[in-house]
Structure 1
Amino acid sequence: MFKVTDLRCEYQHNPIGIGERCPRISWRLDSDERAVSQTAYEIEVSNLPNFSEPYWTSGKVASSQSVHVELEELDTKSCKRYNYRVRLWNQDGELSEWSDIAYWETGKLEGEQWAGKWISAPLSLLPTDSPHLPLLRKSFRLNSSVRQARIYATALGLYELELNGQRVGDRYFTPGWTSYEHTIQTQTYDVTDMLRTEQNAIGAWLGNGWYKGQLGWQEKGAIYGDRLALLLELHITYTDGSEELITTDSSWQSAKGPIVMSEIYHGETYDARLEFEDFSTPDYMSRDWHGVESLEHGYDMLKPQINGPVRAIQTVRPTEWLVTPKGEMVIDFGQNLVGWVRFSLTGTEGAVVTLEHAEILDSEGNFYTENLRTAKQTIGYTLKGDGKETYEPHFTFQGFRYVRLSGFTEEQLDHEAFEAVVVHSDFEETGTFECSEPLVNQLQSNIRWGLKGNFLDVPTDCPQRDERLGWTGDAQMFIQTASYLSNVAPFFTKWLSDLAAEQRDDGAVPFVVPHVLGKEDFASAAWGDAAVICPWTIYVSYGDQRILERQYESMKRWVAYIQGQGENEYLWNTGFHFGDWLGLDAKSGDYVGATERDLIASAFYAYSVELLRRTAVVLGQKEDAALYSKLKEQVVAAFRREFVTPSGRLAASTQTAHVLALMFGLLDEAAEKRAAARLYTLLEESKFHLTTGFVGTPYISHVLSQQGMHDAAYKLLLQQDYPSWLYPVTKGATTIWEHWDGIKEDGSFWSRDMNSFNHYAYGAIGDWLYRTVAGIQTVEEAPGYKRIVIAPVPGEGLTWAAGTIDTMYGRVRSYWRLGNAGDFQLEITIPPNTTAEIRLPGIFDGTRVTEGDGTPLLEAKGIHSTSDGKAGVVIQAGSGHYHFCYKFTGHSS
């Protein structure tokens, strides 16, 4: 038996407010049998949930495609719901039942007219330089019962909505951070059950956020604008079919709210005495409120939200209450996290309490904030004094593990009254990895928490100091690991759209996206290459061809920019580059590693050209594919002339130089062998410790495994002293550090200026853990795990490892265990409608392998073929659960 499950539209289950006119739908096959596949499908779309009148049907389509099926012929309208269902035929010609009914709902599509106006508190109430934040409200009356109601909203700044005294939705930091000159996202809310017959009221909180607030370490504010504004439409459909529209207009009112100050970096100051209790309820009397002013801002940049919303995902309770050597009260939450603290207390009117946030304690155990630079990360709360009061911030977030409390009385320090709220973009967690080494498992946890802490609407570099920017280099280094951990495709689709919008006319990519730095902060190698690397990675990981189609011109423009930069068009040896940022072979006091920057730039030039060539092939751009194939040859030839001696030695003798040359295929066969041998020698000289920085670290383990030096890769992974991935773990790290020695052996810190303890870049080792240790890979020819490779590589120091990835087709699992007597077990799960190539490690004779309950390998159901050779035993298999057993003949090396 088989059935159709897990219907999605644009990666989402039953989304409302999407912006795609021709959306894509995906589904999974569910079956306990082996070698199950789809041969045809049929899709029906209807405006009615009972499908009595189909709106559109695909008919029977002979295809195995079950992911990203684009409904090209469908003519969708704004603010409409579309129900859909799917059935399919399997490999035996059997027809499934119709799936459960799913739906999507369009938002106000790009280019649609808005009836609402941008409204703002008047300047007479809140001048542009006032730190105080406004409230907005409107009362309205309904004369009939409601069948359906939707709010479509956005803001200049951040907003939260209330309707009849209740918060609307569970999203935070709406409308998100985008390149506001080009895009402001809109959100859709189902408020049908929140409306009342007769009197109603809607309220809004506005915050500075990224729009008006301070951004960057130069303390610049109001980068996008100096006035906050709300835009909203409430669409009501009554049970009799009539409709009504409530919009932001001159009938709204405004007031100074209780948020006296709010900044992303600095925190929030809240005076509960200034609250307008129940201001969003119908019975509230607003005689003392002011009017509003309309702003002329335009609507052309408005687009429905692409990425998942920011939500409060979980809460963390304190693990310890400390009194520091300085006598300060500090809460330890046991985990470096991102969000805020929710707390409750009672006290006298006008009393002030303060919460300050930090990642770390110093060597003496005192609260440490110097690495925050100018960011204050402080919450101030003034009590109103009428019983129990509960507070959490609205428009700010902190990166912290420790919280220092000031102004609290002994009675107010109720240990049950404080909890940390973890906030980040809400994406489905898809990957797990664990193994026999507890320190590696903690490393994996740190990698995941690094993603949680730094994927808050944009891929930030750190969540605590006066930065928190979308650094392009960090994003491209980590994106492959992120795609294992979670479904980040919508997240990066939104961010890459901004990257393309922020590119200069000459194709240069800014250091950060959205771009909020200076006019010259553009176009570093390995940073700007995010324009090519990130879309290609999403394509390979999710089979998402649309992202290549939409980013293709951006990718071409970046390569064209590089081509025009060098002293000849095949090398990049001009301009500013970050180089191997934070490489440990840097000169004393320098942030940049010893590898020549022009070597790094030219290596990434070749890599981006190659990925662009592959993209052109996927998109059927034959002329471009030929052009970039030729350009790749020319860049590689120039690289060899410039950086490889006639005898085949790489001129730069650093780990990173050898890693890049090998990873990007820049050497001929003889030089490659010599470079691999030299890299191993360099590792021996460093006693198998890293000297790489941001550029070399993501690739070094992959290069070692590709060159058959798995022993060296495992030695690097399992080192516990500085510098290594596990050194921070031994020092109590719960996230990935920016520096290998953020905390030194003597307890001192690397620096005050550049020392984040939650900085995901070095977490890129997670890619190797999934791809090589667990052995789960996809292939470019059938991306998104349509074709799966299972090729685990056991290594000395681990006795078992397990990885899972919930792909668009279903769960892939790889688990291996090596017993003391050499008994090896490999358990694998391959989802329906996919096939797999399984490479059994440590054996070269398939007749010695059994499957399941002891069945000889060649007789096992679902296995199409096997082959033996230098690569070991290679199995071609269909979907299903498999359990292989044999005697392991030795570690791969």
Structure 2
Amino acid sequence: MNIATSVHADTGLVRRTWQADMIAPTVDQGQGTRQSFVAASFTASAGARPKLFISALGLYRAFINGKRVGDDLLTPGWTCYDDRIAYQAYDLSNLVEEGENRIEIWLGDGWYRSQMMWKHQMVLNCWGERIAAIAEIVDGSDVILKTDAAWKSGLSPVTRSGIYYGEDYDARLETLEETGSVDVLDFDTDTLVAHETFPVRALQSNDPVESWRDSDGRNIYDFGQNAGGYVRITVRGSAGACVYVDHAEVLGPEKAFDKRNYRSARAAMRYTLKGEGTEIYAPLFTFTGFRYARTAIEGEAEILAIEQVPISSIREVAGGFECGESAVNRLVLNTLWSQRANFIEVPTDCPQRDERLGWTGDAQVFAGTACWLGDCRTFLEKYLRDVMHDQRENGAVPHFSPDPTRLHRDIFPDDWAGSTGWGDAIVTIPWQLYLHYGDRDILQECFPAMLRWLDYLWSISDGPIIHPTRAWMGDGFSFGDWLQPVGDNRKPRPTIGDDCAATLYHFISNELTAKIAGVLGDDAQRQRLLERAETIRAAFVREYFSQTGRLAHNDQTSYALAFLYDLVPADHFEAAKAYFRSVIEEADYLIGTGFIGTPALLPALSKLGMNDLAEKVFLNRKVPGWLYQVERGATTIWERWDAIGEDGTIYDPDMNSYNHYAYGAVCQWLFEDVAGVQPDPDAPGFARVRLNPAILPALGHVAMWHETGHGRIDAGWRIEGGRAIYTVTIPDGVEAFLPLAGRTNLEIDGHPAETGQAEIVLAAGRHNIGFDVSGD
């Protein structure tokens, strides 16, 4: 029998022709109950090299003759299941035996039907009520086993599991009994696509760095690192004894275990021993975010070992940055750990509480940094397909994707979508993929969705200035500069207005989509969008600039975005620049930006040549500040600047995550401005780079590296005798150019630079560039 596959011409998605049925165990009692399995036997001939193709509604883990298939986690992954579901393929050559073999497919509720969303708007059975499996074992061109009505089902030792809930497992139930049959479901196999990105897998485990007992006799373990993953325990004891493990990100006063910020997410596991020597357990169908684990034992049992197992879709590091300031180095590491913990199938906001959603705003501000630190091409492409599927008919882009609200209007009667700064992910993320990987295909795939989004933005107020509604879930609602700090509540610092923030992003996305239209060769759309962008620009100047060049809200976000995206007119430029400097100095160099302003703040200052301000803001140790978090012991990026107060107080545990990557977007500035390596949109994928380092003397020295499609780029600088020595290594296939403006006494590889040129082109190889620091 021939097993055919097809590749979609526009998306590259791979599908295959299935002979199998999607089968659901009849013993399954529904969401939140004991989990189930399906099983069958098959015969393999001598020398067989069979391959398993498999997917599920819910999560699955497969076993051949009692041995686990593969090491992927949380399969088949998380997508908009009503659009497409991933399938995986595994070589079974080392698992099958000549003659009869047995396959078991254990199933879990997973994202498919366990709790989604927060407690007061909880969604159960989001994509369906029945978990099920589909599988084929193929040897050459022959299907030697497929899921069908003849399979049997039974209950597994997993007595309950859920993404937020955690997992309960009773090892006394590991002798599986086939107590039921299966139902063949009405299922469209065209929904199945080959897994689009890297599988979720375990990273190197972490042992506790410290442990202690609380007043109730429970052990608390500190693994020294906040991460997304699970705990693996090695235990010994009597049958029926239980080990209960719950998790926390932070400690309260006197090292008290504090998990209030998990809200309704139980995020715990309960293991019941079978009482047969040493037993090892780690959950099959869940994960959470944590640094600390607390264990309680019921009955006679002893924990012999406990370790933290981080997991991620992005396992390989693609870039690094270090300097002479250790707190900055830890900040970069914190950002990497937040990326790992939240890049688990979907770029989520947080890995711990009853949320863990693919927020578009967080993803769009962080996409550039994400691509510097890891190979995120296929991961973000997959996410964008979910965003496009969740896009509303009117063009509004969801606040998060996959979006449970879209399918449950009984719980979410209003359409919760369309915030500026969030919906713009459909424009900004494809652009970052193009810059970093030369991915023109994703621009083409997303372009129609971009146009629909831009038309939706214009429709909010029927014109260039956007006036978002104040209604929380109203049409055109905007999060604005989310969590923008205001300082002293007796005399708060100015913050950007929702209309100004929305209009700024309206311009950004129109201008960027015009560039994309140019890349795609669509001259008509390019001209239309450029004209619209100019209309927005003129309206912005009329609406928000005073005659003296002061922006209406006189806040850091307004100036940063306006300068970074060239919205400041020439006749106001110097005055606005002075106002920008003033609002930062008056804030004592404290950050005054939220989710959309923060990624723009330091790049805007560097663009304006105000690196003295950038240095002071970046290195400020007070709250709000990046290094404040580090010096408070953070090992990941916080959601809120003031997540822990200077007195150790935990701020508002109802909305407080200690593993939110958004503010880690500052690392893009470290790579592109401080280390000075900038991808060129005219030669994307690092075929050409611009070298323009910002020398910040307080950092002492700087070194970065990044693996591109052409090879590794290294760059860094140090200061010697009042001169900056900038060293770069350019791989073959990459052309680098160095702008000459602003550099005095410039030497390249020991020779004075030629004057009268705007830039110098550097060929592949290692180069040493020197210039006076005072000229920076």
TM-score range, shorter chain: over 0.9
The 8 Å contact of residues 18 and 306 in structure 1, kept in 2 or not, is answered as no
SS at match of 1:789: strand
Whether 1:548 aligns to 2:443 is: yes
1:273 to 166, 169, 172: 172
Distance 2:105 2:603 in 1: 50
1:243 to 142, 164, 175: 142
Matches within 5 A, 1:448-463: 448-463=336-351
SS at match of 1:314: coil
1:751 to 652, 656, 659: 652
AA in 2 matched with 1:453: A
For residue 726 of structure 1, what is the aligned residue in structure 2? 627
Deviates more, 1:661-670 or 1:346-355: 661-670
How far has the Cα of 1:126 moved from its partner? 2.3
Distance 1:142 1:326, change over 3 A: closer
2:765 to 880, 884, 890: 880
Distance 1:580 1:586 in 2: 15
2:289 to 395, 399, 419: 399
2:29 to 124, 127, 130: 127
The 8 Å contact of residues 184 and 301 in structure 1, kept in 2 or not, is answered as yes
How far has the Cα of 1:655 moved from its partner? 1.2
The 8 Å contact of residues 743 and 775 in structure 2, kept in 1 or not, is answered as no
For residue 224 of structure 1, what is the aligned residue in structure 2? 127
Deviations 1:749-769 (A, max 9, x none): 111111100000100100111
Whether 1:760 aligns to 2:661 is: yes
For residue 408 of structure 2, what is the aligned residue in structure 1? none
The 8 Å contact of residues 581 and 593 in structure 1, kept in 2 or not, is answered as no
Distance 1:130 1:792, change over 3 A: closer
AA in 1 matched with 2:136: E
For residue 472 of structure 2, what is the aligned residue in structure 1? none
Matches within 5 A, 1:485-884: 485-517=373-405, 518=412, 519-569=414-464, 571-574=466-469, 575-585=476-486, 594-819=495-720, 821-839=721-739, 843-846=743-746, 849=747, 851=749, 855-856=750-751, 866-867=754-755, 874-884=759-769
The 8 Å contact of residues 326 and 366 in structure 1, kept in 2 or not, is answered as no
SS at match of 1:514: coil
For residue 471 of structure 1, what is the aligned residue in structure 2? 359
Distance 1:867 1:778 in 2: 25
How far has the Cα of 1:306 moved from its partner? 1.0
AA in 2 matched with 1:507: G
Q: Which runs of 5+ in 1 are unaligned?
A: 1-16, 25-69, 71-106, 280-285, 859-865
Deviates more, 1:774-783 or 1:135-144: 135-144
Distance 1:441 1:456, change over 3 A: same
Deviations 1:61-118 (A, max 9, x none): xxxxxxxxx9xxxxxxxxxxxxxxxxxxxxxxxxxxxxxxxxxxxx9x43x4311001
For residue 80 of structure 2, what is the aligned residue in structure 1? 179
For residue 54 of structure 1, what is the aligned residue in structure 2? none
Distance 1:599 1:23 in 2: 37
**Structure of greater Rg:** 1
Aligned length: 759
The 8 Å contact of residues 867 and 875 in structure 1, kept in 2 or not, is answered as no
For residue 136 of structure 1, what is the aligned residue in structure 2? 38
Matches within 5 A, 1:369-384: 369-384=259-274
The 8 Å contact of residues 440 and 726 in structure 1, kept in 2 or not, is answered as yes
For residue 19 of structure 2, what is the aligned residue in structure 1? 115
The Cα RMSD (Å) is 2.4
Distance 1:476 1:351 in 2: 47
How far has the Cα of 1:418 moved from its partner? 1.0
SS at match of 1:581: coil
Distance 2:716 2:10 in 1: 36
Distance 1:295 1:809, change over 3 A: same
The 8 Å contact of residues 243 and 295 in structure 2, kept in 1 or not, is answered as yes
How far has the Cα of 1:190 moved from its partner? 1.8
The 8 Å contact of residues 320 and 331 in structure 1, kept in 2 or not, is answered as yes
2:223 to 313, 316, 333: 333
Whether 1:163 aligns to 2:48 is: no
Deviates more, 1:165-174 or 1:668-677: 668-677
Distance 1:325 1:713, change over 3 A: farther
Distance 1:774 1:569, change over 3 A: closer
Distance 1:559 1:292, change over 3 A: same
Distance 2:30 2:506 in 1: 45
AA in 1 matched with 2:25: A
SS at match of 2:542: helix
Whether 1:443 aligns to 2:331 is: yes
For residue 47 of structure 2, what is the aligned residue in structure 1? 145
Distance 1:189 1:419 in 2: 28
TM-score by length of 2: 0.94
The 8 Å contact of residues 770 and 803 in structure 1, kept in 2 or not, is answered as yes
Distance 1:223 1:635, change over 3 A: same
Distance 1:523 1:816 in 2: 43
Distance 1:340 1:592 in 2: 41
Deviations 1:329-371 (A, max 9, x none): 2000000011111111111111111001000100221000111
How far has the Cα of 1:868 moved from its partner? 5.7
For residue 158 of structure 2, what is the aligned residue in structure 1? 259
AA in 2 matched with 1:663: L
The 8 Å contact of residues 424 and 453 in structure 1, kept in 2 or not, is answered as yes
Distance 1:273 1:573, change over 3 A: closer
How far has the Cα of 1:601 moved from its partner? 0.5
For residue 97 of structure 2, what is the aligned residue in structure 1? 196
AA in 1 matched with 2:387: L
Higher share of residues assigned helix: 2
For residue 890 of structure 1, what is the aligned residue in structure 2? 774
The 8 Å contact of residues 250 and 292 in structure 1, kept in 2 or not, is answered as yes
Distance 1:509 1:592, change over 3 A: farther
SS at match of 1:159: strand
Deviations 1:842-890 (A, max 9, x none): 74234xx252xxx5356xxxxxxx5467x7xx43111112233x46342
Distance 1:626 1:189, change over 3 A: same
TM-score by length of 1: 0.82
